[in-house]
Amino acid sequence: MRESGEPESGEPQSGEPDRWPGAGGPPFDPERFRREGRVVIDWIADYWASLPAHPVLPDVEPGEIAARLPAAAPETPESLAAVLGDLERIIVPGLTHWQHPGFFAYFPANASGPSILGELLSAGLGIQGMLWTTSPAATELEGIVVDWLRQLLGLPDRFGLGGDGGGMIQDSASSGLLCCLVAARERAAASGTGQCVVYASADAHSSVVKGAKIAGFPPAAIRRLDTDSAGRLRPDLLEATMRDDAAAGRVPCFVVATVGTTARGAIDPVAAIGTIARRYGTWLHVDAAWAGTAAICPELRPMIVDGVELADSWGTNPHKSMLVNFDCHCLWIASRHTLARALTTKPDYLRTAVGDTGAVVDYSDWQVPLGRRFRALKLWMVLRMIGGEALRQRVRDQVAWTAEFADFVAADPAFEILSPPSLALVTFALRAGDEATAELLARVNRAGSVFLSHARVGGRYAIRLAVGGTLTSRADVLGAWGVIAAAAGDPVLVSKARGRPAEER
Amino acid sequence: MRESGEPESGEPQSGEPDRWPGAGGPPFDPERFRREGRVVIDWIADYWASLPAHPVLPDVEPGEIAARLPAAAPETPESLAAVLGDLERIIVPGLTHWQHPGFFAYFPANASGPSILGELLSAGLGIQGMLWTTSPAATELEGIVVDWLRQLLGLPDRFGLGGDGGGMIQDSASSGLLCCLVAARERAAASGTGQCVVYASADAHSSVVKGAKIAGFPPAAIRRLDTDSAGRLRPDLLEATMRDDAAAGRVPCFVVATVGTTARGAIDPVAAIGTIARRYGTWLHVDAAWAGTAAICPELRPMIVDGVELADSWGTNPHKSMLVNFDCHCLWIASRHTLARALTTKPDYLRTAVGDTGAVVDYSDWQVPLGRRFRALKLWMVLRMIGGEALRQRVRDQVAWTAEFADFVAADPAFEILSPPSLALVTFALRAGDEATAELLARVNRAGSVFLSHARVGGRYAIRLAVGGTLTSRADVLGAWGVIAAAAGDPVLVSKARGRPAEER
């Protein structure tokens, strides 16, 4: 990190007014942007280089950061150096460092050079892709790169560009699910008047309930079904519930199959669920937000895309493990017209001759917001500058490291695995019980070099290890075990576990 | 723009493998990021410098860009130079240049050096602000900078940090409105069982109908009320409609007052609407997406914030005219608990000890998506590096230039003003009628130096001039009149209009 005394190339040169773009100054000065841009690029490079030296979690109290910031905006311009100084002194110490190699919490939200530069280009171009006409290349590049990813994942042609389907980028799996749910509700409403019902496993993501609440489903029409012992939606229970609902005059409207639950990475039996959904005319949405991108590896693909041919919609997040910085949710739908019919509200000022012909896609008709950033650039740059091979290798490495980590846990009599590794996620606990496990997790996270989060698995308090950080290496994953074993007070395992990563660092 | 033959500093140096981050290579290499980052920064600076030389609108047919892109992703990495080459050759010619000084269509979506660098920092830090604990500084900086803007706009303290209210950044006015509508629906449902009804003027933004559709309101429960001759919601009609609904057992649930309609910039009488809304216990949402930021000027503030003390929610878009690149919608609510109650769905793995105390805000409980980019950075950087004074001067300049433009239109007997300037928006038409006006607009836009869009104003086909581009100067605004007059074939006015801007260019 830059020391505050060091000279900064983004500072105004002699003779240049210390205001930009001050009243009367240019609102965008290319030469100043070059200088200041380099400073920010260097700052980011320095930040990434310094990441391992930061504690992953900040040590701040509620309100502490806010209290260090001025209560009002300045009237006259301040320099980039002043802003970066405050970023360094006030903001960075209050961040949880999601790009830290020791970040194993939640799911990863990783980034990479190409994706950061793609986001930068998107901001620099500053175009809007709400309609095809508002920047044709933005819509067409998005269609193409999302289709590149579809092919890499081995998703069927019916989601491709040729037929009734299509793919797009949304901000998040939550928003994508909401749009599909609304389309399903409208489709169901067109053929009946009963109360529409939504189905998902109790372990499905919170966005199912959130989306259903937003879409106006009463709590009684949201079925969160018990899972089997491996955390999967039970087709028998789904079918019995749908049958009861249909018999009572309700309309089975929307079922979510989760490929990779948040708690433990469970993969619902999509093919069986899809068969039942077809029987009741129910929309099948596959939420593969986290696990989906692993289907780029042919050997992992079958368990991830099994049953996809029965899905009405299928979504995954390159912004989790595929090196595209948040936000980049890719959503494919089997019938783009059904989606657009549910969401299109085109006033006169947004109608265009070419849009009216149906020859082009106006992506704002597929989502909640009207405006659209040019998000395709960052996915394009990651796919081109990193390439399929390296992306696959990363998945394979992370899966292998997670298995190695799980072997350490399983070998320690104080611990037990609560759910076996699913791709690059494993959950475990102390045999001593929930309280001891929660206390251990708090101790581990306080130490600063790693951050893991928790979940409930089979009613037990579980520690989750989710591997996928950009900088995370095998040494970091095995080192995490060293930290955990040390915090658990098992000196034998500590030295054993620490011995290995040390050699590889 | 860089010529393709020119050497590029982002190219691999000799001895460095031509793959990054190839299998086995570093997934983020700070030194390579420095080099490539500079190339991209320079590319953006060159792009902005070249903007006036581009036609604002591209000349492409549907599918033309897609056909020039490969059908599948590469397996092995390509260089940044290859990507930027394609950006230059294939993508840029297919863009509508929203940052072009001659962009007068829709509403502006402007950007600036500080905001582009803020977006870059956000991508470079790659943190998630979904919960306070997932990066405390992201939540606290957002609270602070949104409050800075609240003060600049003169919005009441009840939207501030001290009491029950609060402010936040969402992606768009559409998403913000949807969240408020859901909160209003839940609040109304708690006190009655009748059908909830939504009210807005017929000229309100399409996001009202879209949000209501998403939230499950049947078409019959969405009232789009006729406006007065100036395009404003009529309080008498609103009251009569609410009274009829209430008498029929329906629940007046949500009313949208628009401050600055899209078609003509009309400002609904918020105070009168709010008084009626209070009478029926109806949620008042003020959609000031475009016009709201002009309230930073004290002399313009009264007409913009009049009645705000009666609003339950109030939103504006710094990403339109306030130099913050899309997306940055600022939303203030009077009761943050009502909003959070409607949207919170917190599974065990997202619960935190500090979150459970209520001492902190978890912003994901206020919006549709779970994940959150660090958008506060770009607003922070714009407010600090540009400052209140210069932002006000920009608004005043744009309002003045629009008035000058309107004077030219009014002085031309072939034209008529359809709606007088509202801030920096004016609409006009040829007296010869809709067909002639539409044909004129097409001719003007084909010429390449300006882009204006259309709307219906009082049933007539209107050309809209919306001023607010980052690079747009007085000369560009008056020059637009020169182009229009020339296309309309009025030689006297052409020379008169062209004479002035030429001197100032």
CATH level 3 topology of A173-316: Aspartate Aminotransferase; domain 2 (3.40.640)
The helix/strand/coil state of A260 is coil
Q: What is the pLDDT of residues B127-144, one digit of tens each?
A: 999 999 999 999 999 999
Identify the residue with better confidence: A113 or B10.
Answer: A113
Neighbour count for residue A321 (Cβ, 10 Å): 28
Contacts of A63 in chain B (CB under 8 A): 140
Higher pLDDT, A193 or B328: B328
Taking CA–CA distances from B355, the nearest residue in chain A reads: A62
B223-228 average pLDDT score: 98
Q: What is the DSSP string of A164-185?
A: S-EEEEES-HHHHHHHHHHHHH
Best probe of the A interface among B83, B98, B117, by most A CBs < 10 A, is B117
Task: Report the distance separating Cα A293 and Cα A259, nearest Å.
Answer: 11
**What is the distance, to the nearest Å, from the Cα of residue B19 to the centroid of all Cα atoms in its chain?**
39
CA separation for the pair B54, B194 (Å, rounded): 56
Instruction: Tell whether A303 lies on the interface with B, counting CB pairs under 8 A.
Output: no
DSSP reduced 3-state for B55: coil
Residue A366 contacts residue A388 (beta carbons within 8 Å): no
Interface of B with A in 4-23 (CB under 8 A): 19-23
Chain A touched by B474 (CB under 8 Å): no
The pLDDT mean for chain A works out to 92
Window from A318-332, A349-363, B433-447, B476-490 with minimum mean pLDDT: A349-363
| pLDDT number for residue A14 | 37
B111: nearest CA partner in chain A: A126
pLDDT (0 to 100) of residue B354: 84
Closest Cβ–Cβ partner in A77, A117, A471 for B386: A77
B-chain CB neighbours of A124 within 8 Å are 40, 43-44, 47-48, 111, 116
- Comparing CB atoms, the residue among A19, A115, A140 nearest residue B66 is A140
Closest by CA position to B142, among listed B290, B331, B317, B302: B331
How confident is the model over A223-276, as pLDDT tens digits?
Answer: 999 999 999 999 999 999 999 999 999 999 999 999 999 999 999 999 999 999
Residue A469 CB-density burial (10 A; 0-12 exposed, 13-18 middle, 19+ buried): buried
Interface mutation target, options B91, B110, B146, B464, chain A, most CBs of A under 10 Å: B91
- Check pLDDT > 90 for residue A18: no
Round the CA-based radius of gyration of chain A to a whole number and report it: 25
Task: Please state the rounded mean pLDDT for residues B425-430.
Answer: 98
pLDDT digits (tens, 9 = 90+) for A163-190: 899 999 999 999 999 999 999 999 999 8
The answer to whether residue A249 neighbours chain B at the CB level (below 8 Å) is: no
Question: How far apart (Å, rounded) are the C-alpha atoms in residues B436 and B399?
Answer: 28
The mean pLDDT of A138-156, rounded to a whole number, is: 98
Identify the H or E element spanning B279.
Answer: helix B270-280
CB B439 within 8 Å of CB B488? no
Residue A345: the pLDDT is 87
Which among A25, A66, A119 has CB closest to B119? A119
This prediction has a pTM of 0.93
The verdict on a CB contact (< 8 Å) between B350 and A92 is no
Quote helix, strand, coil % in chain A, to nearest 5: 50, 15, 40
Write down the pLDDT at residue B498.
45
For helices B387-411 and B474-488, angle between their N-to-C axes, nearest 10 degrees: 20
The CATH homologous superfamily for domain B1-92 is dopa decarboxylase, N-terminal domain (1.20.1340.10)
Q: How confident is the model at residue B490 (pLDDT cuts 50, 70, 90)?
A: low
Helix axes B387-411, B491-504, angle to 10 degrees: 160
Interface membership of A175 toward B (CB under 8 Å): yes
- Biggest alpha carbon–alpha carbon distance for chain A: 81
Query: Cα distance from A95 to chain B (closest Cα, Å)?
Result: 4
| Interface confidence (ipTM) of the complex | 0.93
Which residue out of A177, A320, A345, A434 would a mutagenesis test of the B interface target, given it has the greatest number of B Cβ atoms within 10 Å? A345
Q: Report residue B254's pLDDT band, with 50, 70 and 90 as the boundaries.
A: very high
pLDDT-derived band at A490 (thresholds 50, 70, 90) equals low
Residues of A in Cβ contact (< 8 Å) with B360: 62
Asked if the model's pLDDT at residue B501 lies above 90, the reply is: no
Whether pLDDT at B420 is above 90: yes
**Helices and strands in chain B: count of H runs, count of E runs:** 18, 11
Partners of B354 on chain A (C-beta within 8 Å) are 62
The answer to whether residue A504 neighbours chain B at the CB level (below 8 Å) is: no
Per DSSP, the three-state class of A469 is: coil
Nearest CB to B94 within list A73, A140, A174: A140
pLDDT in tens, A322-376: 999 999 999 999 999 999 999 998 888 888 888 788 889 999 999 999 999 999 9
* pLDDT tens string B286-306: 999 999 999 999 999 999 999
Model confidence pLDDT, tens digit, residues B53-98: 999 999 999 999 999 999 999 999 999 999 999 999 999 999 999 9
Indicate whether A10 pLDDT > 90.
no
- Compute the distance between CA of residue B226 and CA of residue B234 in angstroms, rounded to an integer: 7
Q: Is it true that domain A389-504 has CATH number 3.90.1150.10?
A: yes
Q: Nearest-CA neighbor of B19 among B59, B82, B77, B80?
A: B77
pLDDT band, residue A7 (cuts 50/70/90):
very low
Name the more confident of B83 and A25.
B83
CA angle, A281 as apex, A279 and A285 as ends, to 5°? 105
| Residue contact A73–B214, C-beta within 8 A | no
Interface probe for B, chosen from A91, A145, A180, A208 (most Cβ of B below 10 Å), is A91
State which fold the B117-385 domain adopts. Answer: Aspartate Aminotransferase; domain 2 (3.40.640)
Query: Helix, strand or coil for residue B503?
Result: helix
End-to-end CA distance of chain A: 22
User: What type of residue is B464?
Assistant: R
| B470 pLDDT higher than 60 | yes
Among A45, A73, A385, beta carbon nearest to B34: A45
Helix (H) or strand (E) holding B228: none
Distance CA B161, CA B147 (A): 7
Rounded mean pLDDT, B107-127: 97
Mean pLDDT of chain B: 92
Q: Which of B303, B359, B375, B308 is nearest to B128 (CA)?
A: B375
Rounded-to-integer distance, Cα A257 and Cα A255, Å: 7
User: pLDDT digits over A201-222, tens only?
Assistant: 999 999 999 999 999 999 999 9
For the stretch A79-101, pLDDT in tens is 999 999 999 999 999 999 999 99
Q: What is the CA radius of gyration of chain B?
A: 25
* CB proximity under 8 Å: A 310-369 to B: 319, 323, 325-327, 342-343, 345-350, 354, 359-360, 368-369
- Report the range of poorest mean pLDDT among A314-323, A490-499, B295-304, B323-332: A490-499
Position with higher pLDDT, B439 vs A27: B439
Answer whether B1-92 and B388-504 agree in fold: no
- Cα distances (angstroms) measured from residue A341 to each of A196, A346, B159, B209: 18, 11, 37, 13
DSSP 8-state symbol, B264 = T
From A127's Cα to the closest Cα of chain B, the distance in A is 5
Contact A381 B83 (CB under 8 A): yes
Which tokens in the block code for residue A229? Answer: 């012992």
Percent of chain A with pLDDT over 70: 92
A456 and B62: CB-CB below 8 Å?
A: no
User: Looking at residue B470, what DSSP letter applies?
Assistant: S
CATH number of the domain located at residue range(s) A1-100 in this protein = 1.20.1340.10
Q: How far is CA A99 from CA A105, A361, A452, B107, B140, in A?
A: 11, 35, 13, 36, 20
Q: What is the pLDDT of residue A161?
A: 81
CA of B84: which chain A residue's CA is closest? Answer: A381
SS3 A453: strand
The β-bridge relationship of strands A283-287 and A313-316 is: parallel
Closest by CA position to A197, among listed A165, A231, A241: A241
pLDDT given for residue B59 in this prediction:
95
What's residue A188's pLDDT? Answer: 94
Of B463, B481, B455, B456, nearest to B401 by C-alpha is B481
Contact A99 B387 (CB under 8 A): no
Q: B492 CA to chain A: closest CA distance, Å?
A: 31
Q: What pLDDT was estimated at residue A335? A: 96
Terminal Cα distance for chain B, rounded: 22
Question: Distance (Å, rounded) from C-alpha A325 to C-alpha A336?
Answer: 26
Return all residues near B266 (Cβ < 8 A) that are at least 6 apart.
B201, B203, B227, B230, B231, B232, B258, B260, B419, B422
Chain B residue closest in CA terms to A95 = B135
Q: Does A193 touch chain B (CB under 8 A)?
A: no
| pLDDT given at position B144 | 98
Average pLDDT on B399-409 reads: 98
Q: What is the 3-state secondary structure (H, E, C) of A114-158?
A: HHHHHHHHHHHHCCCCCCCCCCHHHHHHHHHHHHHHHHHHCCCHH
Q: What is the DSSP letter of A195?
A: P
Contact residues on chain A for B148, CB-CB shorter than 8 A = 72-73
Give A492→chain B minimum CA distance, Å. Answer: 31
DSSP output for A267-326? B--HHHHHHHHHHHT-EEEEE-TTGGGGGGSTTTHHHHHTTGGG-SEEEE-HHHHSSPPS
The SS3 of residue B433 is coil
Mean pLDDT of B479-492: 85
Report the C-alpha gap between A381 and A390 in whole angstroms: 14
Tell whether the model's pLDDT for residue B5 goes beyond 80. no
Distance CA A225, CA A234 (A): 8
Measured between CA atoms, the residue of chain B closest to residue A45 is B30
3-class DSSP state of B19? coil
- Is the model's pLDDT at A13 over the cut of 80? no
Topology classification of domain B388-504: Aspartate Aminotransferase, domain 1 (3.90.1150)
> Is residue A53 within 8 angstroms of chain B, CB to CB?
no
Contact A463, A418 (CB under 8 A): no
Domain boundaries, chain A: 1-100, 173-316, 389-504
Mean pLDDT of B431-456: 96
Question: In the prediction, which pLDDT does B7 show?
Answer: 39
- 3-state SS, B364-427, equals HHHCCCCCCCCCHHHHHHHHHHCHHHHHHHHHHHHHHHHHHHHHHHHHCCCEEEEEEEECCEEE
What residues of chain B lie within 8 A of the CB of A390, using their CB?
19, 21-23, 25, 77
Cβ count near A218 (within 10 Å): 12
Please report the number of interchain residue pairs, chain A to chain B, with beta-carbon separation below 8 angstroms.
Answer: 503
Q: In what order do the strands lie in the sheet with A460-466?
A: A415-422, A425-430, A460-466, A453-457
Q: Do A123 and B115 touch (CB under 8 A)?
A: yes
